[in-house]
Amino acid sequence: MRILLVGDIVGKPGRQIVVRSMRGLRAQEQLDFVVVNAENAAGGSGITPEIYYQLIEAGVDAITLGDHCFRRREIFSILQSQRRIVRPANYPATAPGHDVTVLHTHDQTPVAVLTLLGRVFMPPVDSPFTAADRILAQLPPEVRIILVDFHAEATSDMQLMGRHLDGRVSAVLGTHTHVPTADECILPGGTAFQCDVGMTGPHESILGRRIDRVLQVARTFRPAHFEVATDDVRLNGTIVDIDPATGLATAIRRLRVDQAAADRLADRQ
As annotated, the active-site residues are 68
Collapsed DSSP state (helix, strand, coil) of residue 241: strand
The rounded distance, in Å, linking the Cα atoms of 20 and 262 is: 6
The 8-class DSSP code of residue 41 comes to T
The rounded distance, in Å, linking the Cα atoms of 172 and 182 is: 15
Write the burial class of residue 107 (CB in 10 Å: 0-12 exposed, 13-18 middle, 19+ buried): exposed
Residue pair 193/171 in contact by the 8 Å Cβ criterion: yes
Q: What contacts 241, CB < 8 A, 6 or more positions away?
A: 1, 2, 249, 250, 251, 252
Write the burial class of residue 142 (CB in 10 Å: 0-12 exposed, 13-18 middle, 19+ buried): exposed
Beta bridge partners of 101: 113
The 8-class DSSP code of residue 187 comes to -
Cα atoms in the Cβ-side hemisphere of radius 13 Å centred on 123: 11
Alpha-helical (H) ranges within 166-231 are 211-220
Sheet strands side by side (includes 145-151): 101-104, 110-117, 145-151, 171-175, 192-194, 185-186
